[in-house]
Structures are given as structure tokens and as C-alpha cells.
Amino acid sequence: PAAVAVSVSCLRVVAPSSYYYCLSSSRIPKFAKPHLLSLPSSVASRALVVSSASMLYDKELAAAKKAASLAACLCQKVQKELLQSDVQSKSDRSPVTVADYGSQAIVSFVLERELSAEPLSLVAEEDSGDLRKDSGKDTLHRITKLVNETIANDGSYSASPLSPEDVLRAIDSGKSEGGSFGRHWVLDPIDGTKGFLRGDQYAVALALLDDGKVVLGVLACPNLPLASIAGNVTLENAVGCLFYAKVGSGTFMRSLDGSSPVKVHVSDIGNSEDASFFESYEQAHSMQDLTSSIARKLGIKAPPVRIDRQAKYGALSRGDGAILMYMRFPRKGYHEKIWDYAAGCIVVTEAGGVVIDAAGRPLDFSKGRHLDSNTGIIATNRKLMPSILKAVRESLEEKPSSW
């Protein structure tokens, strides 16, 4: 056997089958660095390509799961306190504000600790502007205390407690603009704040973009039952799900307390009459008159399942009953943010589903903090997608001015 040194940024091997793998030379992971293999050249090259492809983003995914899980712990503590109080609004210094900032600070902290070899670029919803004002000092104190308690209870990090300034810097890591080049984390620290306030569904949604493409995503859904929400959900049902997906590897679900993961897949029902659909819980978040029109054209008999934000994507990815469609058509003037979709998108697609806009195009996350398209979002399985798009076009053509 010949000794083979492999040192290239793009590898292609066509024997016995075709493989293609490309690495940006500026970000070649350690496992892909040149090294010597005492194997026949064709075997050595193929082994390197397959190994690199299967391991790509593994460390990042592990860090993302850790970050989202810890942030979910923080949010659970705040929501528990909220439900024991009389606070029911997102006013200044409200529990949801504390949880939003605290969740973002935790995610930033964990990603920087776990992935210290490269600078953190985070596209996120919050910034520290209000917390730096005199009126925000009490809120900042509460956030700092909560973040430090969460980190200490986890026990994975032995660093000194974070100062208020450390927390502010962590929050402001989320100011990145993203874009089509490089790696950018995308975070919604609490996706579904109104659900959070009601004691209902919300998610910590974290994804990684690499050159504008979503390559991994994690959804931590503290209140989502581990069992299908299509059945009768009771208070006795265990709740707390962690969904995660990596490009080319499928989607998995486990409990937030760390049970063994199971691979999930969207439902394969192809008859729209047997399906029901997700839509936003809050009427202001979507055009429910339009989605109702589409449902009628599809012959859907079941009423819509209304659930907050990206928790829908987790339920969709595991094929909960006949719940196949999530259709969101924002009202005019609203611009979709990438953190509202990035994690959920890959969780559904890696589970065999499809996520597109109302024109049938894949979502484009390479344009910065906003989605380039603003024509509505559809998520379903591959069998139902053609009939849904037809119903969408017909509904839009009937009353284009009213939508």
C-alpha cells in the first residue's frame, strides 16, 4: 500500500461511487487537515471524504444543543415564577423581558466557551440598549443573577460569575448582520413570547448558517408534550422536547432532561382531506381568512391546530397525527426575520418535509437579518406540497387586494 498525503480544499472520488465534498480553505476543521494515511490511495481518499462529511458540524451541533437546553432551563424557571404571579404583559422589567435577555446571554456564553477557536457571529433578536439605561439597572441585575444561577446549576463551567458588563457583552454578540459568506449563528431566544406569558408553547430556536445555508438547527420546546399533540393531551403527559437536525443527517428528538434520542419523520399522508393544518395562535400573526380559504380548497375538514411559533415545526417534523401544514401569510408591512424560521426550517426538511414560500421557492437566509421573500411560508410533506401550492395560487387570485 502507498502512503498518501491529502491536502486539498475540494475532494472528488468516483470509485466505486461518486462523492463530492468541499471545504472553505479558511475554515477547514481539524479533522480535515492534511495527514498521512497508510492505505491504497483510492481507499485513503474515499475514507477521508466520508469521515469528514459525517463529522462536519458535529462539534457545533453539540454546542448548540447544550446552549439551547441551558437557555430553556432559564426560561422554565422564569415562566414558573410568572405563572405564580399576576404579571401578564410584556412591559418593561416583565418576566418575559428578563427571560428573553437571559436566554440570549446564556446561548452566547455557551457558544463562545464551546467553540472558542473561532469568533462568534450571532444574529439575534435582542440588544442591550435598554438595559444600559438607568431605568434598566434593576432588570439587568435580575438577568445577571438568573444567568449565573443557571450556569452554576449546570456545573459544566468553572469560571467566575459573570458581571453585569459580561452579560451585556454576551447579549450584544447578537448584533451580527449575517449574510451570504461565513458562519453565522441565528437565535430567537424566546420564539413565542405571548405563548410564554400564557404558560403555553414557546421555543428557544438556534441555527447555524454557513455561507448563507442553514446547516444545523435546534429547537428547545419546554412545554411541548413528548407524545403527539394530535391525541388527547393531559396534564399527566410528559413535556419538554429538544429537536435537532444537521444537514444530511436527519432530525432527532429527545426530552429536555436528556433521554435517548429518536429519529423522527414527517407524516406521509397524501390526501389533503385527511389532514389538518397548523396556524398561528395569535390572529395578528397571520391572515387566518386566507389560510381558511386554502383549507377549504384542499377539502380539509378538521379545524386548524393553533400553536405558537416554531414549536409547530417540531410537532410537524415528528408527524403528529394528520397535522401536515403550517401556513403563515403575514399582513402587509411585516417583514419576516430569519430567526423566526432558520432552526424550524432544517428540523422539518431533515425530517423529510418541505419548507418554501408561497411562490414555491426555498427560503433564502443569505440576505441578512430579514428573509428576502415576504409572500408567506408553507411547511408540509412532499406529497401534499403540489396541491397546497395550487390552492394558494387560486386563493390569492380570487381576492388579491384583500390579502
Catalytically active residues, by annotation: 100, 193
- Strand, coil or helix: 93: coil
Q: Which three cell numbers stand for residue 330?
A: 403575514
Strand extents, DSSP E, 181-248:
183-191, 203-210, 213-225, 239-246
> Half-sphere exposure of 268 toward its Cβ, with a 13 Å CA cutoff?
3
Contact 253, 264 (CB under 8 A): yes
What angle in degrees, to the nearest 10, is found between the helix axes of 288-297 and 385-398?
A: 120
- What is 248-288 written as a DSSP string? TS-EEEEETT-PPPEEE-------GGG-EEEE-SSGGGS-H
Phi, psi of 38 (to 5 degrees): -90, 70
Q: Alpha-carbon distance 363 to 212, whole Å?
A: 11
C-alpha distances in angstroms, 238 versus 80, 226, 235, 335?
A: 16, 6, 8, 36
> Half-sphere exposure of 250 toward its Cβ, with a 13 Å CA cutoff?
9
Q: Alpha-carbon distance 27 to 23, whole Å?
A: 7
Q: Which three cell numbers stand for residue 261?
A: 434520542
Give, as one character, the DSSP assignment of residue 399. Answer: S
Q: Alpha-carbon distance 167 to 169, whole Å?
A: 5
Q: Alpha-carbon distance 47 to 54, whole Å?
A: 11
- Strand, coil or helix: 187: strand
Contact 67, 206 (CB under 8 A): yes
Q: Alpha-carbon distance 291 to 396, whole Å?
A: 10
- CA angle centred on 181, ends 180 and 185, rounded to 5°: 85
Q: Alpha-carbon distance 226 to 238, whole Å?
A: 6
Per-residue H/E/C for 240-253: EEEEEEECCCCEEE
